[in-house]
Amino acid sequence: MKNIQVIDGADNSVYDIFAATDEEFALIFPEGQDVGFIEEVMARGPERELDEALTRIWKRRISKRDAMGIHGILFYELDHKKQYYPTRRDEEAINPDGTRLR
């Protein structure tokens, strides 16, 4: 199982962590990526398979204190953050001017 943290643009969001099987994780994050934006994920499809996988994942919330790492970040309603993750890899995050964030 791999852990996905969901970062939502809603004001009352709590950034929960959910467990995904390796197969479910691979549906959301293409090989080598660990940052996703839900609109891009759904556009890649297959929509029905993704909907079913997400339904299962939402049932597997993990308490933050019990999480053993975060393997992926999934953004909702935060398209303006795409500029910081052009490679969709968290460790390669950059500022708009191209300088590294870390």
Q: 71, 5 in Cβ contact below 8 A? A: no
pTM (two decimals): 0.94
pLDDT digit string, tens, across residues 75-84: 999 999 999 9
Residues whose CB is less than 8 angstroms from the CB of residue 33 and which lie 6 or more positions away in sequence, other chains included: 72, 87, 88, 89
Torsion on CA atoms 50, 42, 29, 99, rounded to nearest 10: -160
Confidence category of residue 102, pLDDT binned at 50, 70, 90:
confident
**Element at 37 (helix H, strand E):** strand 35-37
Residue 10 is predicted with a pLDDT of 94
Neighbours of 51 (CB within 10 A): 11
Residue 18 is predicted with a pLDDT of 98
